[in-house]
Structure 1
């Protein structure tokens, strides 16, 4: 069957102009025809953007396929599904399963084969089983592949297609302007049948960058993309480390124009297949650079709020809202059809580059000192001048909340829950790293075992041990999990917490308080999100909120009625409140 006229017209008007920008010297007619042939069997009827991809219900969980396992023969993906269905069926709506493919390093991000599942985890059928009750996010690691991949073996043997998929650079070339996320050498020496080569490797000598300047490589990744969406049922595609995708010697090789056009191209292609699929870009960089991945509302559907984790951690360590509020006020509402992804912790550390220019030098140094005191580590990156600077904090977020700048104290659990409540109150879609939801501490033993600092926040739970902890009423894990689950379920009922609902930052004179206002798209619900960032009780005159006297006001979290809008609202250390005039979606 030939492609419909509508599909052909879409390629002519939407796809070919982008290909012409990226590949001005390629045979665009042939390339477009090849892509059209790939997409044709899977295209939707309309191919138009779906404006309703998310609402206040969306809550994502971030986890490795083996973050929870069962002793014996059961595959971890089976165990994960059992845990999700038993404990989180009514709490989360989606699951980001971190790389599931066979890999050689970096806990999955050095992929050997994109179309296979690591047999130690399970199978594609196990993943599709998880995708039935939950929205599924999969990683497309498209900046690099494993040095053990078939493509790179072909490169070393001088065989097609892999011999044309990598970037061979003369080692005398001046690459000093290249922005680095690591301290490892940028070029890796490789012995090939054609002699010694030096190939580009942004992240490690086992993660070899691929060459997107070759349009044949684009076709390969479109095939992978279609497999994840059409065959596996992924609703979200996370473009890992996408900022480094395009290389141009003499430039910074980050955020180049071709990279942005490639993201837009992938969005357009997926829109023709399934208008409900979401593209999310992973760019752990300063805030202004991160925002650029929305494009003009035509690139990423979702970007990570990378500045939130370090700023929120700093606010709770310092006990003041100053820098967090400044950042919140500077953040533009997400463009139409786009959203932020809010998170406080992930499988990686807490990135420091997104806090550049947002913290004072003294507070920055104090932040590093605090987390080191609480058992954390600091990872570094190499600057263009050869010096090294802090890149990320490696610590379980629960342990980062052990105390404040004054040292450890008794408020760890309350402080941690406050951090998560702030995160899920902000404009955007909340995403909980599984170890935050479970209140998992730093795994220094695993870090020492692997020799990698990031392992400190990648604990693996034996399901039986975890269930014993969750059944103990006074276990910190049970307290955190129980309370966060309760708060999430309350949040999901509030239209004022739609990812694109209005947000306005308020300015009480008390810097220990963080106060902001959310209003539903229909303007029929307001929520004043109030948080005590300190270890002392605080008060807030309710007149500061300008509550409407004719409405009834109520704290969704504590259940407290506001009987007098002229009264003073009292908050215990690290207490949060959601004061609203509407008790939920169905009220």
Structure 2
């Protein structure tokens, strides 16, 4: 345990020896349950993001339906499935977990998870900043069970330093609960049903470590650390990105590497870009991958503004601390499209322009509270397709603009994550928002498998147009060494033409993207190159919102 001693001493100096002893015991216990493999990422790594119940077919377990859809339609396109929280929960569509170690019986059992893992690599969510108020952990805390003493954070709602705490929501930071008959205010960063864990207590650190090791023993190759930036609270600070939070992630990684070096830790921190990349650490000690949160809103901005100078300058500034780290690239997810990651890249007016586009196209805007009492946009709640174009525009136009952004995302170095509503060309589910009052439901619709199969048979449908082109791109991408996650990417632009050159030892791939509504002359970019995207003609001009992937001869 010498490898983690300094980190545990920093976090828990008074409980150092007993904490190290407990960690050693967990490592010994799980070493026999986990097969040790080498760390490996490859060009084949493409991750589908979906809920356990994203696809519905009759009365069969949702996880079985998920496997059927992926095996039938996506097997040649993806090799990994990120199953969003599939544990028992009470709110936030899974992100208020009641029991970390159980499968929600409505979705299936661990048997169905294992069956999925036999065909695909898996990514699990570790929702470890908070837990449901209905969990045994919190109920034990309220009842005075010594096993859960100091598992949660009590605070005085009148404390003068609370106003400094970073707020990702407009809801109260503290909520009152009855603890052994007395009213106590408990820390709730995200909602009244999501109770923050108290990592100042080493027992919380240990219980969560055991959860992570349990997930690995159940087949998790990738682990998403949800809302990780808020883990440690210290009055008088912003309570985000504290040194203790980074030390916890480093400690967890070093412990996991002892028995499962193949596991990839991904941090989810929807914050401005400089803060986001801090979770790479020194490139060898913290997150293996981080969500590239600036990419989705920046692509949307570039398309609406018809300029790529901003995108190109930002992309050229991207630096990785080692050749063992990379970005997790995506354009859509179960959450909204965060706009805080645009801060410092575009102006507030340009962010407002994007927010206006979302609302004009049927979406919504969620806000965060600021220390001065004001509110600013936090995320756009809108299907990515609908953010890019109006639902009134033609299917061909919508598909073209959408697939331009997807092709860009797939061309960035790193590992791509594809949301299930993106690969199947879905649109806003406004009725779900009206029925629930939850803005994020606009992009979380459940898909009936029979309806999906029928729509994919209609070659003029939006679903088919998007799915068929995505299929070609992903199958092509997996054949090229230049798309290895750690291979080099060079970015440039000329007017509204954005260019990415992907390089490996054996080849170079040139990716051209037209973000304007006018054709662009590309003759100088096509000499001595062959067209990889065979379904698109190579001429002297690149049509509006078109793209090409070319390879040197």
TM-score range, shorter chain: over 0.9
Residue matched to 2:177: 190
Distance 1:103 1:352 in 2: 28
Residues 60-69 or 491-500, more deviating: 491-500
1:345 and 2:329 correspond: no
Residue matched to 2:461: 475
Distance 1:17 1:111 in 2: 31
Question: Do 1:507 and 1:515's aligned partners in 2 also have CA atoms closer than 8 Å?
Answer: yes
Q: Report the CA distance shift for 1:560/1:91 in structure 2 as closer, same or farther (over 3 A).
A: closer
SS in 2 for 1:577: strand
1:19 and 2:5 correspond: no
Residue matched to 1:70: 57
SS in 1 for 2:270: coil
**Matches of residues 474-513 of structure 1 in structure 2 within 5 Å?**
474-508=460-494, 510=495, 512-513=496-497
Residues 90-99 or 191-200, more deviating: 191-200
RMSD: 2.0
1:518 and 2:502 correspond: yes
Structure 1 residue 43, shift from structure 2 partner: 3.1
Q: Report the CA distance shift for 1:45/1:204 in structure 2 as closer, same or farther (over 3 A).
A: closer
**Matches of residues 103-252 of structure 1 in structure 2 within 5 Å?**
103-174=89-160, 175-193=162-180, 195-230=182-217, 232-252=218-238
1:540 pairs with 522, 535, 539, which one? 522
Distance 1:445 1:45 in 2: 45
Question: Do 1:56 and 1:495's aligned partners in 2 also have CA atoms closer than 8 Å?
Answer: yes
Q: Report the CA distance shift for 1:569/1:446 in structure 2 as closer, same or farther (over 3 A).
A: same
Question: Do 1:411 and 1:535's aligned partners in 2 also have CA atoms closer than 8 Å?
Answer: no
Residue matched to 1:527: 509
SS in 2 for 1:411: helix
Distance 1:432 1:569 in 2: 32
Structure 1 residue 574, shift from structure 2 partner: 1.3
Q: Report the CA distance shift for 1:46/1:155 in structure 2 as closer, same or farther (over 3 A).
A: closer
Residue matched to 1:3: none
Deviations 1:129-156 (A, max 9, x none): 1111111000111100001111111111
Distance 1:267 1:67 in 2: 31
SS in 1 for 2:43: coil
Distance 1:532 1:488 in 2: 20
Structure 1 residue 301, shift from structure 2 partner: 0.4
SS in 1 for 2:422: helix
Distance 1:267 1:304 in 2: 17
Structure 1 residue 385, shift from structure 2 partner: 1.3
Question: Do 1:380 and 1:389's aligned partners in 2 also have CA atoms closer than 8 Å?
Answer: yes
Residue matched to 1:296: 282
Structure 1 residue 561, shift from structure 2 partner: 9.0
**Matches of residues 75-86 of structure 1 in structure 2 within 5 Å?**
75-86=61-72
For structure 1, which runs of at least 5 residues remain unmatched after alignment?
1-10, 563-567, 583-587
TM-score, structure 2 as length reference: 0.96
1:427 and 2:427 correspond: no
Q: Report the CA distance shift for 1:276/1:252 in structure 2 as closer, same or farther (over 3 A).
A: same
Distance 1:560 1:47 in 2: 45
Question: Do 2:309 and 2:493's aligned partners in 1 also have CA atoms closer than 8 Å?
Answer: no
Question: Do 2:326 and 2:414's aligned partners in 1 also have CA atoms closer than 8 Å?
Answer: yes
Distance 1:469 1:252 in 2: 48
Distance 1:253 1:576 in 2: 43
Question: Do 2:536 and 2:548's aligned partners in 1 also have CA atoms closer than 8 Å?
Answer: no
Distance 2:138 2:216 in 1: 26
Structure 1 residue 541, shift from structure 2 partner: 3.8
Structure 1 residue 48, shift from structure 2 partner: 9.8
1:260 and 2:249 correspond: no
1:570 and 2:541 correspond: yes
Deviations 1:502-543 (A, max 9, x none): 1111232x2x211121111x2x21111100112222212416
SS in 2 for 1:170: coil
Structure 1 residue 17, shift from structure 2 partner: 1.5
Distance 1:471 1:514 in 2: 34
Distance 1:169 1:389 in 2: 26
1:35 and 2:23 correspond: yes
Distance 1:316 1:444 in 2: 24
Q: Report the CA distance shift for 1:334/1:475 in structure 2 as closer, same or farther (over 3 A).
A: farther
Residues 498-507 or 292-301, more deviating: 498-507
Distance 2:380 2:137 in 1: 34
Deviations 1:464-485 (A, max 9, x none): 1111001111111011001101
Distance 1:476 1:47 in 2: 43
SS in 1 for 2:149: helix
Number of residue pairs aligned between Structure 1 and Structure 2: 550
Residue matched to 2:530: 554
Question: Do 2:53 and 2:63's aligned partners in 1 also have CA atoms closer than 8 Å?
Answer: yes
For structure 2, which runs of at least 5 residues remain unmatched after alignment?
none
TM-score, structure 1 as length reference: 0.91
